[in-house]
Structures are given as C-alpha cells and as structure tokens.
Amino acid sequence: MRRTLGSFLNRIYYDLRNLGTTSQDRALNFAATNAFQAASTFAAAVATGMELDSITVEKSPFCRLDSDCWDVKLKFFDPENSRRAKKVYRFTIDVSDTIPVTLGEVRSWSTPY
C-alpha cells in the first residue's frame, strides 16, 4: 500500500505537475493532496493486487448550482494478468471556492480497456 501510494504521489508531482491555473488542474491538484480520498481508493485497488494505470479529469455532469465540478478518474490494472478487467474509481471535486471540496462518495466499476 505504501509503495503504491508513493508511486501515485510521485506521478502527480513529477508527471502531472501544473500550476493550478485552470479548474481542471485545481481538481487534479486537490486529488493529489486529499490523502483521505486517495487512501480509500488505493486500499480497495491494492488489496486485489492492482496498480495505477492512468489519471484523468473531466467535467462532471452533476454539480451544485453555481459550482465548478470535475470528476477525477483513477484507473488501475493488474500487472500480472493483462486479461483482467481494469478498475476505475471516480470522485467529484468542486473547485469553485478557495478550498476545493469533494462531493458524494467514491464510485467504481470495471472496464475492459
């Protein structure tokens, strides 16, 4: 768990580094610093032997009135079995205020790609 979480933080800090000038960048930065949200996601994925594949941020279709909400999707894969379905974990972040907030709960599903 510690190695995988460390790998996630290194990827955020060095591969996806940004200044947070756009709403999308702020959502990604908050996902990296919100350890509670990330830890619950990683615990489920790592328990099944999966590792981080990709991190994407897209505009959320669901949002509070006068808010700026983004879905952060973390996709995991099984490094020992490429035929195993990938697992996606999604959580929504509202970046409209000075301090972003997480909305709702973490959702997950399996995907073939």
Q: Which residue has the higher pLDDT, 89 or 3?
A: 89
**Are 79 and 92 spatial neighbours (Cβ–Cβ below 8 Å)?**
no
Q: What angle do CA 54, 55, 60 make, to 5 degrees?
A: 135
Report residue 92's pLDDT band, with 50, 70 and 90 as the boundaries: very high
Most confident of 6-10, 16-20, 63-67: 63-67
Q: Which residues have CB under 8 Å from 36's CB, separation 6+?
A: none
User: Residue 34: what pLDDT?
Assistant: 75
Report residue 22's pLDDT band, with 50, 70 and 90 as the boundaries: very high
**Are 112 and 85 spatial neighbours (Cβ–Cβ below 8 Å)?**
yes
Q: Which among 28, 24, 23 has a CA at the least distance from the CA of 13?
A: 28
User: Residue 38: what pLDDT?
Assistant: 65
Domain ranges of the chain: 2-111
Q: How many CB atoms lie within 10 A of CB 110?
A: 9
**Are 37 and 102 spatial neighbours (Cβ–Cβ below 8 Å)?**
yes
Residue range 25-82, pLDDT digits in tens = 999 888 877 766 666 667 778 788 888 888 899 999 999 899 999 999 989 999 899 8
Strand order in the sheet with 69-77: 51-59, 69-77, 86-94, 101-111
Q: Which residue has the higher pLDDT, 51 or 7?
A: 51
